[in-house]
Structure 1
Amino acid sequence: MKVEVETYGEVDGKAVDLITLSNDNGMVVRVTNYGCIVTSIEVPDRDGALADVVLGYESLDKYLAGHPFFGAIAGRFANRIEDGRFSIDCRRYQLETNEPPTVQHLHGGSKGFDKYVWGYDLEETSDAVMIHLHRVSPDGESGYPGNLLVTHTIGLTESNALHYDFRAVSDKPTIVNLVNHSYYNLAGHDSGSVADHQLTLFADFYTPVAETMIPTGEVRAVAGTGLDFREPVRIGDRMEGIEGGGFDFNYILHGKQKHGDYRMAADLYDPSSGRFMKVMTTQPAIQFYNGFKLSNKPWFGRNGCKYEAFGGLCLETQGYPDAPNKPHFPSAVLRPGDVYQHRTIHQFGTR
């Protein structure tokens, strides 16, 4: 294992670093402490050739200019909250409604966790390197109650496993839902559409949404619908049955297949390169978004590559969207004395 740290820039007078993790198999992961952004993941294909399999930029300036959460942490509450409103113990809170098309609260607001410089510590063992990123989100930040102490650990092992761990405590009742928002293309970030990727989701049910992208509160079976990924299926085949080809759905993990303490969440495979990515998590759900909105703005990534619609997909392990307003959904409330703690593993390899 190897770790390197280099200066990446500065934000609000705070130093921003780029941390590079690499293992003996040739896998390389680059992370910046600005927004906990995973800027790059290089993985070998079946012939040993490396390609960068996440969408992103080569410079801090490009991230500062704006992006659709490429590789960043989303929080304090990832996904959407209806009208930006929620209540805890009969006290109502109003958050920003920062998603223009839906007028909902999205990913913590216009200045969420992805737009802060985080402190960090490095931990090295014989078979892993871990980056422990940390910050305190003060009471009232973006409208959320409570001083929230957050630690987000990103680590790489010799077995090509990428770990995303989240831990948080608060001094007031608050809500928390933290995710990594990387866009994956296992053929390479500059290879075009992910339509030929094969996807398996370990979920029998999903949560339907209204036109505002807020869950209706229903839980429906995927069986007999175009949202069924219980067996490996070419993503493009499913896109043909969806208006505009766009997927942005929350799937409920059934937990029938386990990996130790983790639920199997997803298995993504690119036949052209042989690369696969298995996702395992302690979270109850996963959001599958196939990047259909990437063409809404011109995004130019590394080496000037233009990222078009379907150029990368997200598999975000999470709590349910709008859980604070749906009492029958798993609770997103974190109370003083309790610990928010979730872990996800992305296992890379070839077939």
Structure 2
Amino acid sequence: MKITFLHRSAQYTLLSLTCKDSFQVTLNSIGASVRSVGYTDSADKFKNIALSFASDSDYTGNPLYAGATLGPCAGRISGGSLSLPKKKYSLTRNEKNRHCLHSGIHSVSFINWTLVSIREEDTSAEVLFQCTLPDGCDGFPGNRTFSVSYLLNEAHELTVRYRAVSDKTTYFNMSNHSYFNLSGNFEESVYDHLLQIHADSYIYNDDEFIPEGIAPVENSPFAFRKPVSLTRQMKAFPDHPQLTVSRGYNHAFLLNKNNELPQLVFTSPDSAKKLFISSDAPCVVVYSGGFIESGLPLSGNQISCPGCAAAFEFQDYPDAPGNHGFPFHYTEAGKEWTRYIKYSFVFSCSRENK
């Protein structure tokens, strides 16, 4: 395995982790983001399957949170109100001036993380980033330290590990917001990909994507227990109000922990490329990208369109602090919070098959 610095300055660091067969993951210190994921095909052309902006500088604002670390809290907190023992906190309401989305405007998704260490071995490579947020930033309590490590091995398994600690009792719910299109063509919809999720229930939302309740996936467009394309499910339920409001999917699935890992499998239409994802998080929010803007400049001289990629956010129950009766676990001062997400990429069209 090899780690290569592609850019290093006070503004940001860009580096790649590369396997012996040329499979590669590129990371950006802004947001501790996944910049690209790809392989060299039979024509010696690099095929990127993770939605990436054309310019590294776009990650400072990152309108799509593309590839970014989400924290201290992924998703929405309704009303921007966080109730913890002995105190209620008012958070930044950066969505419609009503809700706190992905932790507000000063979240870890937009800052330049410190590269703490790199490690190269024969069969793996690891990169560790760290950052801090002060007490009261976007309303969240505690002087907090965050770390995220990316470990890639020769089997094309990328394991992401999150750790966080605070000097005050607070709420952590970190995740990653990478979007994937396994075809590598981000100018076309991802809806013909097959999706499988080991989940018997999903959470339905109101028109502002705030949870309203839990329902079984059976006999609904949310039945992905067997591999099925997004297109097929949406066509089978063309007038389903949940799909209409979300322009597709933007919903949490309650993961079955009694099944063998992985909990989610994403497959290209030609079945040549598969993404397996597992995590210790209780839920995954599937976002099919219906609100992605048209015309955003992407890497590889491509232009975005709605539905051009899908994101899988492994996290707590959405809006867990929001009095929905969902499990809600805060982190006491001085206690370490952790989470992992493991991505396994399987390609039948990679360089070794030339």
Give the TM-score normalised by the residue count of structure 2: 0.90
Q: Aligned to 1:258, what secondary structure does the other structure show?
A: coil
Structure-2 separation of matches of 1:228 and 1:48: 38
Structure-2 separation of matches of 1:159 and 1:44: 15
In structure 2, the residue matched to 1:43 is 39
In structure 2, the residue matched to 1:5 is 5
In structure 1, the residue matched to 2:311 is 314
In structure 2, the residue matched to 1:328 is 325
5 Å-filtered alignment, 1:167-246, equals 167-216=163-212, 218-240=213-235, 241=237, 242-243=243-244, 245-246=247-248
Identity %: 26
Structure-2 separation of matches of 1:219 and 1:235: 21
Is the counterpart of residue 86 in structure 1 residue 82 in structure 2? yes
Is the counterpart of residue 64 in structure 1 residue 48 in structure 2? no
Q: Aligned to 2:321, what secondary structure does the other structure show?
A: helix
In 2, are the aligned partners of 1:202 and 1:253 still within 8 Å (CA)? Answer: yes
Identify which of 286, 289, 295 aligns with 1:288: 286
* Superposition deviation, residue 272 in structure 1: 2.8
What is the Cα-based RMSD across aligned positions, in Å? 2.0
Is the counterpart of residue 97 in structure 1 residue 68 in structure 2? no
Identify which of 114, 119, 122 aligns with 2:118: 122
In structure 2, the residue matched to 1:137 is 133
Deviations 1:231-289 (A, max 9, x none): 00011111222327410000000112234xxxx22100003361000001111110100
In 1, are the aligned partners of 2:106 and 2:137 still within 8 Å (CA)? Answer: no
Is the counterpart of residue 276 in structure 1 residue 277 in structure 2? no
Which letter does structure 1 place at the counterpart of 2:273? R
In 1, are the aligned partners of 2:51 and 2:66 still within 8 Å (CA)? Answer: yes
* Superposition deviation, residue 123 in structure 1: 2.0
Q: Aligned to 2:231, what secondary structure does the other structure show?
A: helix
Identify which of 147, 154, 175 aligns with 1:151: 147
In structure 1, the residue matched to 2:251 is 249
Q: Aligned to 2:179, what secondary structure does the other structure show?
A: coil
Structure-2 separation of matches of 1:300 and 1:246: 23
In 2, are the aligned partners of 1:46 and 1:273 still within 8 Å (CA)? Answer: no
Q: Aligned to 1:174, what secondary structure does the other structure show?
A: coil
In structure 1, the residue matched to 2:240 is none
User: Cα gap change, 1:170/1:65 in structure 2, threshold over 3 Å: closer, same or farther?
Assistant: closer
| Count of aligned positions | 340
In 2, are the aligned partners of 1:177 and 1:332 still within 8 Å (CA)? Answer: no
Give the TM-score normalised by the residue count of structure 1: 0.91
Structure-2 separation of matches of 1:47 and 1:222: 42
Q: Aligned to 1:323, what secondary structure does the other structure show?
A: coil
* Superposition deviation, residue 350 in structure 1: 2.9
Deviations 1:165-191 (A, max 9, x none): 101111111011111101100000435
Deviations 1:316-346 (A, max 9, x none): 1111111112373222411124221111111
User: Cα gap change, 1:270/1:191 in structure 2, threshold over 3 Å: closer, same or farther?
Assistant: farther
Q: Aligned to 2:340, what secondary structure does the other structure show?
A: strand
User: Cα gap change, 1:47/1:255 in structure 2, threshold over 3 Å: closer, same or farther?
Assistant: farther
In 2, are the aligned partners of 1:173 and 1:336 still within 8 Å (CA)? Answer: yes
Which letter does structure 2 place at the counterpart of 1:292? G
* Superposition deviation, residue 17 in structure 1: 0.9
Identify which of 106, 115, 131 aligns with 1:111: 106
Structure-2 separation of matches of 1:123 and 1:305: 33
User: Cα gap change, 1:44/1:275 in structure 2, threshold over 3 Å: closer, same or farther?
Assistant: farther
Deviations 1:65-105 (A, max 9, x none): 542111111111110000110111131111111113x8311
User: Cα gap change, 1:47/1:331 in structure 2, threshold over 3 Å: closer, same or farther?
Assistant: farther
In structure 2, the residue matched to 1:305 is 302
In 2, are the aligned partners of 1:186 and 1:273 still within 8 Å (CA)? Answer: no
In 1, are the aligned partners of 2:71 and 2:107 still within 8 Å (CA)? Answer: yes
Q: Any unmatched runs of 5+ in structure 1?
A: none
Which letter does structure 1 place at the counterpart of 2:280? T
User: Cα gap change, 1:276/1:46 in structure 2, threshold over 3 Å: closer, same or farther?
Assistant: farther
Is the counterpart of residue 345 in structure 1 residue 347 in structure 2? no
* Superposition deviation, residue 124 in structure 1: 2.3
